[in-house]
């Protein structure tokens, strides 16, 4: 349904509206599931190719505004938030988020989503990201973020897949060229984005603390029900 709406209406407006609605959603588990679903549509739907390109470069005020809007709702799902940062080439912020994962409650569902993200990195949508691994000097945080995901995973098939990909990252000394005068486009784009990443990171922590509290409340209610059944 969302894909058909994006064809008939403005995709940017649809995602903006959905993100605004989910930001105010009080059912945190539902919000997390919806964010995951919308993110999957955003990353895999052929109808959203143009929107992905707008977000990938963040060249316009509209695209940067959409990123910040999506980010705030995407914080309902930690792994989805990282995938949004990968899509928008915000590798430093992706690395900062992954560092925060050590403070989160790591569940089986959480690890399953990391597994799916690793699988997604191998898909055509992230071809540009894999090619950027060739530019080791200008993309250190991309490599550090991928190694961060690797360290989160148990030694599974996804671990082996990402490990093999990172083994392909070349030695930076072998990749040096004589043309050192050309500025890095990735740094130039990031510098021009004017996005307050510190505030976004604080928002991520705030939303995730709410999710942790809600999970514990659900677990407490379930435990009380079990006791009633036993009695």
E strands of 107-211, at which residues? none
Residue 225: pLDDT over 70: yes
Question: Please, what is the angle between helix 140-152 and helix 157-167, to 10°?
Answer: 160
Count CB atoms within 10 A of the CB of residue 61. 10
114-157 per-position pLDDT tens digit: 999 999 999 999 999 999 999 999 999 999 999 999 999 999 99
185-199 per-position pLDDT tens digit: 554 455 446 899 999
Burial string for 153-189 (b: 16+ CB within 10 Å, else e) reads: beeeebbebbeebeeebeeeeeeeeeeeeeeeebeeb
What is the per-residue pLDDT for 10?
81
What is the per-residue pLDDT for 181?
47
170-186 per-position pLDDT tens digit: 887 765 665 554 555 55
**Residue written as token pair 């071809």:** 127
What is the per-residue pLDDT for 6?
54
What does the pLDDT average to over 3-14? 68
What does the pLDDT average to over 202-224? 87
Q: What is the DSSP string of 2-56?
A: HHHHHHHS-HHHHHHHHHHHHHT-S-HHHHHHHHHHHHHHHHH-GGGHHHHHHHH
Per cent of the chain over pLDDT 70 is: 84
Rounded Cα distance between 218 and 216, Å, is: 5
**Nearest CA to 194 among 58, 12, 53?**
58
80-121 per-position pLDDT tens digit: 999 999 999 999 999 999 999 988 988 999 999 999 999 999
Count Cα atoms within 13 angstroms, Cβ side, for 55: 26
What is the per-residue pLDDT for 5?
58
What are the sequence ranges of the domains in the chain? 1-76
Supply angle C-alpha 107, 210, 212, rounded to 5.
25
What is the per-residue pLDDT for 221?
78
**Residue 54 or 172, more confident:** 54
Residue 68: pLDDT over 50: yes
> What global pTM score does this model have?
0.83
Average pLDDT over all residues of the chain: 87
How buried is residue 73: exposed, middle or buried, by Cβ count under 10 Å (0-12/13-18/19+)?
buried
Contacts of 110 (CB under 8 A, 6+ apart): 78, 79, 104
**Residue 10 or 24, more confident:** 24
Question: What is the greatest pairwise CA distance in the chain?
Answer: 78
Please report which confidence band the pLDDT of residue 224 belongs to, taking 50, 70 and 90 as the band edges: confident
């Amino acid at each position: 349904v969302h894909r058909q709406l994006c064809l008939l209406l403005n995709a940017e407006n649809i995602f903006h509206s959905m993100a605004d609605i989910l930001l105010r959603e009080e059912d945190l588990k539902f919000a997390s599931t919806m964010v995951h679903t919308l993110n999957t549509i955003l990353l895999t739907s052929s109808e959203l190719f143009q929107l992905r390109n707008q977000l990938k470069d963040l060249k316009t005020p509209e695209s940067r505004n959409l990123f910040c809007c999506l980010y705030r709702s995407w914080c309902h799902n930690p792994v989805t938030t990282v995938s949004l940062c990968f899509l928008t080439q915000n590798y430093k912020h992706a690395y900062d988020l992954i560092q925060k994962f050590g403070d989160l409650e790591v569940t089986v569902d959480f690890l399953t989503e990391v597994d799916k993200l690793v699988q997604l990195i191998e898909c055509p949508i992230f071809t540009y990201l894999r090619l950027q691994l060739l530019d080791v000097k200008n993309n250190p945080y991309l490599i550090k973020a991928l190694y961060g995901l690797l360290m989160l995973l148990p030694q599974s098939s996804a671990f082996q897949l990402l490990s093999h990909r990172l083994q392909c990252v070349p030695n930076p000394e072998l990749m040096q060229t004589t043309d050192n005068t050309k500025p890095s486009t990735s740094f130039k784009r990031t510098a021009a984005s004017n996005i307050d990443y510190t505030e976004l990171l604080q928002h991520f922590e705030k939303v995730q603390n709410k999710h942790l509290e809600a999970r514990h409340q659900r677990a407490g209610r379930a435990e009380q029900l079990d006791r009633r059944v036993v009695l």
